[in-house]
């Protein structure tokens, strides 16, 4: 599933080709995604000029004067800017025809993404109640420490709670906890203030690094036969069960927390 760095990479890749452009037509080949395509999107988006593209958590908001398209890539979705004449594939569900002669094409084999609508001056229910952005000033060790007091839930689940902080998915939670030396199943309320400070810094550094790596492949967003340029992940523990820890050579272990596979080093993390 695309996580925050991949979504931010998508935003940066699309912005130069969308901002300032008018959406002339919306072509919907498959309206049934995770939710049906919002009728307001179909009715209001054509004829609008794109003012900006913003990321909130793992959502993209394409802002226009009439309101904002709220896009989510789901499990397997991608967005690319292509020449209008590019042949349509079986999983190419939606095109935004732009006044540049190009299209913004949404491709999604699993159809678990979404294209919804947020009226101007309103906040969509999916965005209401979300926590702060992990790269913002509102997110730090003190913030995590205060919210974790008396909590018995595993610290990894706290970190992945979108009401606590947005966009820290399974991969980056595992990697940040490894960098901070914190066992993922440790009760959130038992982690010290000092260790939360280290964890918050690790989250910021790992996400920023991943975004930076993604930024080196933005050319792929306008390639007719390419895929979005997600960075090649350089992971310490995620997906490496049984392989030697890159720091101490102890075999990486995997457990299940919150129905998600959780990778950690039993020696480096406690």
Give the residue ranges of the annotated binding site for DNA.
91, 110, 151
The whole-angstrom separation of Cα 26 and Cα 5 is: 27
Beta bridge partners of 177: none
For 260, counting Cβ atoms within 10 Å of its Cβ (0-12 exposed, 13-18 middle, 19+ buried), the class is middle
Of the residues 3, 6, 8, 175, which is catalytic?
3
Catalytically annotated residue among 12, 34, 246, 260: 260
Binding residue ranges: 91, 110, 151
Q: Would residue 260 show up in a list of annotated catalytic residues for this protein?
A: yes
Question: If you write DSSP's letter for every residue of 199-262 in order, what string do you get?
Answer: HHHHHHHHHHHHHHHHGGGGGGGG-TT----------SSTT-TTSBPTTT-PBPEEEEETTEEE
**CB of 117 closer than 8 Å to CB of 69:** yes
Q: How far apart are CA 113 and CA 86, in angstroms?
A: 22
Among 2, 5, 134, 184, the one annotated catalytic: 2
Active-site annotation holds for 156: no
Number of residues that this document lists for the chain: 270
User: Which of 21, 58, 195, 240 is the catalytic position?
Assistant: 58
Q: Provide the annotated active-site residues.
A: 2-3, 58, 260
């Amino acid at each position: 599933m695309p996580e925050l760095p991949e979504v931010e990479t998508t935003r940066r890749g699309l912005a130069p080709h969308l901002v300032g452009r008018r959406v002339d037509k919306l072509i919907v080949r498959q309206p049934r995604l995770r939710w049906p395509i919002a009728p307001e999107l179909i009715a209001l988006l054509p004829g609008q000029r794109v003012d900006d593209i913003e990321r909130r958590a793992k959502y993209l908001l394409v802002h226009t004067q009439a309101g904002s398209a709220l896009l989510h890539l789901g499990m397997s979705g991608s967005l690319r800017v292509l020449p209008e004449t590019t042949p349509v594939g079986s999983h190419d569900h939606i095109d935004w025809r732009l006044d540049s002669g190009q299209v913004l094409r949404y491709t999604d084999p699993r159809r678990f993404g979404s294209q919804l609508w947020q009226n101007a001056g309103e906040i969509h229910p999916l965005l209401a109640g979300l926590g702060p952005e992990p790269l913002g000033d509102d997110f730090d060790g003190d913030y995590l420490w205060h919210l974790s007091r008396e909590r018995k839930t595993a610290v990894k689940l706290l970190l992945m709670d979108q009401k606590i902080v947005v966009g820290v998915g399974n991969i980056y939670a595992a990697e940040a906890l490894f960098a901070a030396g914190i066992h993922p199943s440790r009760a959130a309320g038992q982690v010290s203030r000092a260790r939360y400070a280290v964890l918050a810094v690790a989250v910021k550094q790992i996400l920023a690094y991943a975004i930076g790596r993604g930024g080196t492949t933005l050319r792929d967003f306008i390639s007719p036969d390419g895929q979005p340029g997600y960075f090649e992940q350089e992971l310490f523990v995620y997906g490496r069960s049984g392989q030697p820890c890159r720091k101490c050579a102890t075999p990486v272990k995997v457990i299940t927390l919150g129905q998600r596979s959780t990778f950690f080093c039993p020696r480096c993390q406690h």
